[in-house]
């Protein structure tokens, strides 16, 4: 409901099909994982290569240092043998003497297998150890398997007479290796002593070294010049440990594969759901836009969240001009903003009438429209009410039609009343005609009778003559009115309106005098003749002058009536009219319009019938004229009518009987 809340009504606009690369996003984790695994493999290989490099360097240095150590031991053994040879110059040359030498015992305990004393002719002088029974033998270096090598030292002739000779010590290189190779080197490498023909002279391992294992060979210096010391790398780690990373990587890839398959299925399902939502939104949009009902969604503050196309067409504003707008709305009529704001507050408070309410809005181009609005709560996906949804129906035409029907009904009622009145008047006229004819006949009879009997009183004769004339005149009036009311065509004839006016006013002379009304004329002497029914026009003039006199009767100020006639032209000068004005100095018509005054039965007089002006208007309009009223300059009323002047060449407008 807050201002920042995104509009759910524009969501469908954002539901466009995702671009192709986005649809393949599910493969990204797989690709990244493969890249990661590749990186790990490359890193592991480089690491292994570096390690091997390092190990090889270490092996070389270990081999060199071991060769130096072993050679130093051999040199030491040679030196001890040489020292023994010097000592033997002073002893008797036999086995017991040799055996008694502590150096010999120590040498045999170290690496020597045997010591042999040779004379100058290479005959054995003495040899230790002598062959002993197996039970008496102390285990010694002799028990070591493998080849044996020897060291020799010359025995110089002694001054005491001992002959020159040679001392030869046999030793086991395997023992030399086992004793000379430190334990940690023996665990790391298989150390072998090989000759130039690749035959193993001695080895620290019981089994031959691993085939293909990394090895290094260093040539042994004197006294083993044709031998080599060979170091072969033992297996650094267990085979199981080496394959473990591969198994882990394989498992990881398998898991990623499964996860990717699941992700792909999920993405496909989301894609299908999105496509369904998109087509639903498109359908909904099309339906909303094609609906004849305007739709408008508002939040709780009255801010417009959504409008459909019909609504936009109704008020003449584009959707982007309306969405997000807060009250006052641009389509509220400026003179009814307060009312519209009150209505909006009522609606937002949830008190909008369930059956809808009528409102008047203003289109952008200024024309007004009547609408019927139905409000209903706007609920979001979570079931919370976020505002109000309004359905709006344009009822302008319906209202105009209803108004037209109402007027027609009124007019029909009016006509019905006029018809009824016409019937009554027609009957009355018919009934009055007989007595009036009788009056005229009796008047003629009395006049004739008086003339036959001698000299009649001229005053009585004159009175009788006027009585006859008035009765005949009354008969004619009644006849014409009857004809008019029975819808027979008016008796058109060329007539001089100035004369018609004067004859009408003459009939009212007494009445005007009685009310003390001053009568004035301003008649155009050059007034053209018109084609009309003079009796009906006379009735109009009589009615207007009598109404003016009635208005003046109760008036305190000046009592004056002026009747004017003049010739006027239409604004386009295409037609000419004769205009008659009846102006009085009475109280005026109080701002009423001609329609109100001419309404049937409208009267302010106690005994008035309220039909006079209605009949006058009908008569004038039946003559194609116009009837109007306005305020006179002095404050009274000015009733006026104008009748068209027939052109001399317009023969059709002259009735046949008058031609």
Binding site for ligand ADP (CB under 6 A): 543, 547-548, 551, 584, 586, 589, 597, 602-605, 608-614, 637
Task: Tally Cβ neighbours within 10 Å of residue 422.
Answer: 19
User: Shortest gap between Cβ of 547 and ligand ADP (angstroms)?
Assistant: 3
Length of the chain: 659
| Neighbour-count burial of 8, counting CB atoms closer than 10 A to its CB (0-12 exposed, 13-18 middle, 19+ buried) | middle
Q: What is the DSSP string of 333-366?
A: -GGGHHHHHHHHHHHHTT-S-TT-EEEEEE-TTS
Choice between 260 and 603, CB closer to ligand ADP? 603
DSSP letter, residue 507: H
User: Shortest gap between Cβ of 569 and ligand ADP (angstroms)?
Assistant: 27
Residue showing the smallest CB distance to ligand ADP in the complex: 612
User: Shortest gap between Cβ of 609 and ligand ADP (angstroms)?
Assistant: 4
Cα separation of the two ends of the chain: 85
Residues in a beta bridge with 576: 569
Choice between 10 and 415, CB closer to ligand ADP? 415
Reduced to 3 states, what is the DSSP secondary structure of residue 483? helix
β 215-219/294-299 pair status: unpaired
Between the CA of residue 469 and those of 42, 173, 463, 466, 474, what are the distances in Å? 140, 183, 10, 5, 9
28-87 and 239-290 are packed helices; what angle lies between their axes, rounded to 10 degrees? 170
Residues in a beta bridge with 368: 362
Task: Tally Cβ neighbours within 10 Å of residue 308.
Answer: 23
Cα(309)–Cα(286) distance, integer angstroms: 10
Choice between 104 and 582, CB closer to ligand ADP? 582
User: Shortest gap between Cβ of 433 and ligand ADP (angstroms)?
Assistant: 24
Cα(337)–Cα(462) distance, integer angstroms: 76
User: Shortest gap between Cβ of 544 and ligand ADP (angstroms)?
Assistant: 7
Residue for token pair 């005994």: 607
User: Shortest gap between Cβ of 476 and ligand ADP (angstroms)?
Assistant: 22
Q: Which structure tokens are listed for 56?
A: 């090889």
User: Shortest gap between Cβ of 555 and ligand ADP (angstroms)?
Assistant: 9
Choice between 155 and 583, CB closer to ligand ADP? 583
Choice between 493 and 630, CB closer to ligand ADP? 630
Contact 307, 45 (CB under 8 A): no
User: Shortest gap between Cβ of 628 and ligand ADP (angstroms)?
Assistant: 13
In sequence order, what are the residues at sequence separation of 6 or more whose Cβ sits closer than 8 angstroms to the Cβ of residue 633?
none
User: Shortest gap between Cβ of 410 and ligand ADP (angstroms)?
Assistant: 17
Choice between 159 and 591, CB closer to ligand ADP? 591
User: Shortest gap between Cβ of 552 and ligand ADP (angstroms)?
Assistant: 8
User: Considering only CA atoms, which of 500, 485, 324 is closest in space to residue 420?
Assistant: 485
Contact 373, 356 (CB under 8 A): yes
Rounded to 5°, the CA angle 25-28-32 comes to 170
Contacts 24+ apart (CB under 8 A), 604-611: 605/550, 611/421
User: Shortest gap between Cβ of 636 and ligand ADP (angstroms)?
Assistant: 7
Q: Which structure tokens are listed for 577?
A: 């009219």
User: Shortest gap between Cβ of 577 and ligand ADP (angstroms)?
Assistant: 22
Choice between 70 and 551, CB closer to ligand ADP? 551
Cα(571)–Cα(579) distance, integer angstroms: 14
Choice between 288 and 584, CB closer to ligand ADP? 584
Choice between 187 and 606, CB closer to ligand ADP? 606
Choice between 389 and 589, CB closer to ligand ADP? 589
Choice between 498 and 547, CB closer to ligand ADP? 547
In sequence order, what are the residues at sequence separation of 6 or more whose Cβ sits closer than 8 angstroms to the Cβ of residue 359?
340, 343, 370, 371, 372, 373
Choice between 489 and 609, CB closer to ligand ADP? 609
Dihedral angle sign, alpha carbons of residues 620, 626, 629, 634:
negative
User: Shortest gap between Cβ of 407 and ligand ADP (angstroms)?
Assistant: 20
User: Considering only CA atoms, which of 570, 551, 567 is closest in space to residue 559?
Assistant: 551
Choice between 296 and 638, CB closer to ligand ADP? 638
Quick one: residue 590, left, alpha or beta (phi over 0 = left, psi -120 to 50 = alpha)? left
Choice between 443 and 547, CB closer to ligand ADP? 547
User: Shortest gap between Cβ of 355 and ligand ADP (angstroms)?
Assistant: 42
């Amino acid at each position: 409901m807050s201002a920042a809340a995104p509009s759910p009504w524009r969501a469908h606009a954002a539901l466009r099909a995702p671009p192709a690369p986005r649809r393949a996003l599910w493969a990204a984790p797989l690709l990244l994982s493969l890249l990661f695994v590749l990186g790990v493999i490359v890193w592991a290989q480089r690491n292994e290569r570096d390690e091997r490099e390092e190990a090889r360097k270490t092996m070389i240095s270990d081999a060199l240092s071991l060769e130096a150590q072993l050679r130093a031991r051999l040199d030491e053994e040679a030196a001890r043998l040489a020292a023994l040879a010097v000592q033997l110059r002073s002893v008797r040359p036999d086995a017991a003497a040799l055996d008694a030498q502590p150096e010999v015992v120590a040498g045999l305990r170290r690496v020597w297998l045997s010591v042999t004393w040779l004379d100058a002719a290479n005959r054995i002088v003495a040899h230790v150890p002598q062959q002993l029974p197996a039970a008496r033998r102390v285990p010694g270096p002799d028990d070591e398997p493998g080849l044996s090598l020897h060291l020799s030292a010359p025995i110089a002739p002694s001054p005491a007479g001992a002959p020159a000779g040679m001392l030869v010590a046999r030793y086991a290189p395997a023992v030399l290796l086992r004793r000379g190779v430190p334990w940690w080197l023996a665990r790391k490498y298989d150390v072998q002593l090989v000759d130039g023909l690749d035959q193993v002279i001695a080895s620290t391992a019981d089994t031959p070294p691993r085939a293909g294992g990394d090895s290094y060979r260093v040539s042994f210096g004197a006294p083993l010049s044709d031998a080599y010391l060979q170091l072969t790398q033992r297996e650094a780690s267990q085979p199981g440990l080496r394959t473990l990373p591969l198994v882990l990587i394989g498992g990881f890839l398998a898991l990623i594969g499964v996860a990717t398959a699941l992700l792909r299925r999920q993405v496909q399902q989301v894609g299908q759901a999105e496509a369904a939502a998109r087509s639903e939104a498109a359908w909904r949009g099309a339906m909303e836009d094609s609906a004849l009902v305007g739709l408008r969604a508002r939040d709780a503050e009255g801010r417009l969240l959504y409008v459909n196309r019909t609504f936009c067409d109704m008020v003449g504003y584009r959707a982007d001009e309306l969405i997000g707008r807060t009250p006052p709305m641009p389509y509220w009529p400026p003179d009814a903003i307060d009312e519209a704001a009150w209505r909006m507050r009522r609606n937002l408070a949830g008190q909008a009438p369930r059956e809808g309410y009528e409102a008047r809005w203003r289109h952008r181009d200024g024309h007004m429209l009547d609408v019927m609005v139905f409000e209903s709560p706007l609920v979001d996906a979570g079931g919370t009410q976020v505002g109000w949804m309004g359905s709006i129906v344009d009822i302008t035409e319906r209202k105009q039609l209803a108004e037209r029907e109402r007027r027609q009904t009124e007019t029909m009622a009016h006509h019905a009343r006029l018809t009824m009145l016409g019937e009554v008047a027609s009957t009355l006229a018919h009934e009055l005609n007989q007595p009036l004819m009788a009056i005229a006949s009796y008047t003629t009879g009395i006049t004739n009778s008086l003339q036959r009997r001698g000299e009649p009183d001229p005053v009585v004769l004159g009175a009788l003559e006027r009585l006859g004339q008035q009765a005949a005149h009354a008969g004619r009036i009644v006849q014409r009115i009857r004809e008019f009311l029975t819808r027979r065509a008016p008796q058109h004839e060329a007539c001089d309106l100035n004369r018609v006016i004067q004859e009408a006013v003459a009939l009212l002379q007494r009445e005007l005098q009685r009310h003390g009304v001053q009568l004035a004329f301003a008649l155009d002497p050059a007034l053209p003749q018109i084609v009309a029914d003079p009796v009906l026009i006379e009735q109009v003039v009589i009615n207007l002058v009598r109404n003016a006199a009635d208005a003046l009767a109760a008036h305190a100020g000046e009592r004056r009536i002026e009747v004017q006639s003049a010739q006027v032209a239409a604004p386009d000068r295409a037609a000419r009219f004769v205009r008659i004005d009846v102006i009085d100095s009475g109280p005026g018509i109080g701002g009423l319009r001609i329609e109100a005054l001419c309404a049937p039965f409208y009267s302010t007089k106690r005994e008035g019938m309220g039909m006079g002006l209605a009949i006058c208007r009908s008569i004038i309009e039946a003559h194609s004229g116009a009837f109007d009223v306005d305020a006179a300059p002095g404050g009274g009323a000015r009733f006026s009518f104008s009748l068209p002047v027939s052109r001399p060449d317009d023969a059709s407008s002259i009735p046949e009987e008058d031609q």
